[in-house]
Every structure is written in structure tokens, then in C-alpha cells.
Structure 1
Amino acid sequence: MDYVDWEVGQPDSHLGREGCVLVDKVTFKMSDSVCDTFQPFICEASEGSMLTTQAPPTETPDVPCDDDNAWLLFNDYCYKFISEADEAPQTWWTSHRLCREEGGELASIHTYEENYWIVSKIYNKTDQTMWIGGRSKLDSSYEWLDGSVFDFINWAEGEPNDFLDQEDCIGMYTRASGYWNDQNCAHTEGRICKRPHHSTLPPAQTTVAPDGHCQSGWLHVGSKCFKYFTQRLTFDDARTACQALGAGVDMISVHSSSEQAHLTTAMGQMQVNTWLGMRNERGFHWVDQTAVTYTNWAPGEPNGHYYGSWGPGEDCVEMLTHNRAGQWNDANCLVRHAYICQRNMVA
């Protein structure tokens, strides 16, 4: 090889699995890549050589599971790929429920061969990411929803990074060499379902909010307890303060007009704006990673318009007071506000 023009940081042999070379179609810089991904290609021939047109290679036909063409067979498991072109993308938890309703589960992946067989089925989807069945545990390790051993990884470079401390679920990139990314479970994506061949799993169990009570000093809203803190902190410091109160405690998320009414009433005597647990990360999401099912934005909000001493940007959400009591506004995350924490009821 008498010439190379590597991209900065390349080649890096990420995970020891990158034995082939790609070039950027704009810069023509080179990087190493997994050989089993699907990419456009460039052919070369000596000047003046006779060229012939050859038929493209024959692809191995898909094998349906149990005569159901919606499910494909690989190594005694059946897989179904539901992209954003097939139906509306869903959160990770909803995707889990929908897979279970069809007798499967969000896919667990245990070998390189399984990972890149899946890639061969999704690389031409319009989705950027599709949900698989991995999630983080309290000890920062990961587990598969189907209970199988977490014995294979294929993280993208720099992942998992738990960005903004709110990325507990795993998605697979459809085109980025089949690598995985941790992301907020409330993002909506396509999904990959998996089930044993000749077998199905029961539907997901619906979790019923337990009867219980709130600890002293905490107020009851729906199935949750919340507590208001008057100390003024930045958004990140407020979240750290909530999480320091114990396992399962986080900044509050609001999911209905009823919950909002409870909060507005309870905060009625307060004269300072208050942080809610919502942050802009590819759109506004709750930091506890529950789905956004309700909003109460003030007129004209969110508008992203802030240019003060903390710098530009309004990526966090405050609840307003006075003549806009209870309404929401996007605010700079470095502003210091009161804050509200939430926890589950004690049985």
C-alpha cells in the first residue's frame, strides 16, 4: 500500500472488529469499519481493460417462521422488524409491550453473527435507530428484558455515556456499522422483536400502582409523592439533590392535567419559579425517562430565546408563578430555581 489518507483518529479497530476500509464521500478520508455492514462500493479496473457486466450476487432468501412472513428465522429464533415506515415509532416501554403482545420480546443479542444478521435486515430502513431489549441496571451494568445473559456488546465509540444521566435503554443504529447506543427510554423509535421458534411469550404484565402512603413531609399526587424545596439550585444541582434522597427519587414529571392541578394548587403560595424534571435532548423529555403524555406550556413557549449572563440556550423547563401560575417555560439550565422531587409511595 503506497498511499493512505486516514481520517483523524483512524484507524482505531473499534472493539477489534473493523477490518475493512470506508472513504467519506465528501472528503475521501479513510476510516476502518466492520466488514459485515452494508455500504455503497467503488470498483477499479486497469485503464484499457475489457469490462463485462456481471449479475449481482444472489442473496440468501429469508426464511419465514412458522409460515408467517412477518417473522424471519435465524438460529432457531424468530425476529420481526417494525420500522417507522410500518407504524408510528414508540417509546422503549411501549415497544416492549407491543413485542409481548405478539408473543415476543425486544431482541436480545448474543453473538457477532446475530448482530450482523439483524443489520442485514435493517440497514435499508428509514429509521436511524431501532429499539432492542437492553436496559441499564442500578449498578450501571446492563441486562436483557428476556432474562438471558448479557454476554455480548457492540457499543458505538464513546457509548454508553448515559448523556445527561437519562439514557437507560439500548437502541441499534441501522446504518452506523450496527453499533449500539444508550438513549432516553422515552424517545420514539422502531423496534426489533424476537421469540423462540415454535414458541411465544405471554403478554406483558400491567403494573398496578400499589396502595401506600407518602413519607412524612411528602405530598401525594396520583401514585407518586412529591416534595417542594425552596433552595435555589441550577437544574443539574437540583437533580443531584433529588437523587441523593434515595433510590428511585428524581425530579418530578407531570403526566396529566390532574397532576398539574395538584401541583399548581400546592405551589400556589410560592413566589419563585420551580424546576420540573424536563430537559431538551433531541426534543423535550422527562429525565426520569417516562413518556411525555402531557404538557402545559405558557403561550409562545418553548421558544429557546435566552441570551443572558449564563449564555444562550433554554434547554430546561421551569414552572411559572404569579399570573402564569402552573404554566411551563423553557429556561437556561444554569438559572437557580426552587425544585420539586418525586418518589413512589411506600407500601
Structure 2
Amino acid sequence: MAVMRGLVLLFLVFSVENAADCIAEDCSFGWTPFGVECFKFFSQTVDWVRAEKNCQSLDANLASVHSKAQNEFLMSLVPVNTRVWIGGHDAEMEQQWLWTDGSQFDYTNWCKTEPNNNQGNEHCLEINLTDKRCWNDHTCTFTKGYICARDHR
């Protein structure tokens, strides 16, 4: 019985290691896996529209966020005190937030009093605002780094 448990344990260890290797291999160099996607932070500062176009040129979109764990993962890619673009926007209808990848807007981490559409001109989503590292709606023409996401390859 002890031998059988040992074999099962050995099998599980190798299975988990191989699964992790497969996930890591599915992301191109410089991209980091999380769930079924690969993510990459770009420090080049551009406006929100250019950030989305840059992501699309890599067969990706600006990142969407669907859980606290995923939000924390994205924060781990971003230097502290660096505000960056992700794929949320309410440009089509105020307070109707959408992701550029078409997925459901089912998680938020807004800062207190956000989104506020300050001066009626904040329609794009930035993350890593304040020491709380929360979300803010911001004017889309400001330049920031950004995070792209794409399916595993």
C-alpha cells in the first residue's frame, strides 16, 4: 500500500511539473502565463487607443480582469507607482464599462469615488492608482504603459 501511495504521489508530482512546463511553453518569450492567457507589460508610454492597437498588432488586446487573483497578478507585472492602461472603457455609453476583448465586465477594483468621469472626459481604465493600487477612469489621451493579453500559443 505504501509503495502504491508513493507511486501515485510521484505521478502527481511529475504531472503537475509537466503541466506547468506546458503552460510556460505556450507563452512566447517575454510573456507570462496566468490561467488560459499570456500577459506582457509594456513600459513604452502611449495613449489608450495606441496601446490597444499595439496589442492588436501582437494578436492580443489590452488586458481584461475577471478576479482578484488576476488583478493581483497584473499588479505583479507593473512597477510600483506606475499607472498603466488595461482594456476597460465606457466610451460607448457612460458607466457601461466594456472590455476590448469582448469578455464580460464581471470584476472591478475601483478606487474610492471612482469611476467619476472627471470633467466629463474620462472613458479609459488605468490601474495602479495610489498606494492602494486600485482602478481609475482617466482621459484616454494621456500616455502610460500598458498590459496586453492573448491566448496561449
TM-score interval (norm. to shorter): 0.7 to 0.9
Please say if 1:251 is aligned against 2:62. yes
Q: Report how far residue 265 of structure 1 moved.
A: 2.3
Report the AA paired with residue 36 of structure 2.
S
1:221–1:259 Cα contact (<8 Å) kept? yes
Report the AA paired with residue 319 of structure 1.
I
- SS of corresponding position for 1:238: helix
Distance 1:278 1:255 in 2: 11
Distance 1:313 1:321 in 2: 18
Percent sequence identity over matched residues? 32
User: Which runs of structure 2 are paired with 1:274-285 in the superposition (5 Å)?
Assistant: 274-280=84-90, 281-282=92-93, 283-285=96-98
Distance 1:221 1:275 in 2: 18
Please say if 1:301 is aligned against 2:111. no
Distance 1:323 1:292 in 2: 24
2:129–2:135 Cα contact (<8 Å) kept? no
Distance 2:129 2:114 in 1: 15
Higher helix share: 2
- SS of corresponding position for 1:319: strand
Distance 1:245 1:270 in 2: 25
1:239 alignment partner in structure 2:
52
Greater RCO, CA 8 A, separation 6+ = 2
Residues 257-289 of structure 1, C-alpha deviations (whole Å, 9 max, x = no match): 11011112232x343210010010221110111
2:33 alignment partner in structure 1:
220
**Larger of the two Rg values belongs to structure:** 1
Residues 43-87 of structure 1, C-alpha deviations (whole Å, 9 max, x = no match): xxxxxxxxxxxxxxxxxxxxxxxxxxxxxxxxxxxxxxxxxxxxx
Q: Report how far residue 320 of structure 1 moved.
A: 2.0
1:270–1:321 Cα contact (<8 Å) kept? no
Report the AA paired with residue 77 of structure 2.
A
Q: Report how far residue 324 of structure 1 moved.
A: 2.4
Report the AA paired with residue 286 of structure 1.
W
Distance 1:343 1:245 in 2: 8
Distance 2:114 2:44 in 1: 25
Please say if 1:324 is aligned against 2:132. yes
1:226–1:341 Cα contact (<8 Å) kept? yes
Structure 2 gap segments, 5+ residues each: 1-21
2:6 alignment partner in structure 1:
none
- SS of corresponding position for 1:216: coil
Please report the TM-score for the alignment, with normalisation by the length of structure 1: 0.35
- SS of corresponding position for 2:106: coil
2:45–2:144 Cα contact (<8 Å) kept? yes
Please say if 1:273 is aligned against 2:86. no
Q: Report how far residue 291 of structure 1 moved.
A: 0.5
Distance 1:251 1:296 in 2: 17
Of 326, 330, 333, which aligns to 2:140? 333
Paired residue total = 127
Please say if 1:313 is aligned against 2:121. yes
Please report the TM-score for the alignment, with normalisation by the length of structure 2: 0.78
1:45 alignment partner in structure 2:
none
Distance 1:251 1:301 in 2: 20
- SS of corresponding position for 2:118: coil
Q: Report how far residue 321 of structure 1 moved.
A: 4.3
Q: Report how far residue 245 of structure 1 moved.
A: 1.2
1:286–1:292 Cα contact (<8 Å) kept? yes
Residues 136-170 of structure 1, C-alpha deviations (whole Å, 9 max, x = no match): xxxxxxxxxxxxxxxxxxxxxxxxxxxxxxxxxxx
2:41–2:77 Cα contact (<8 Å) kept? no
Distance 1:259 1:238 in 2: 20
Distance 1:328 1:221 in 2: 20
Distance 1:271 1:256 in 2: 22
Structure 1 gap segments, 5+ residues each: 1-210, 307-311
Report the AA paired with residue 126 of structure 2.
E
Report the AA paired with residue 332 of structure 1.
T
Please say if 1:291 is aligned against 2:96. no
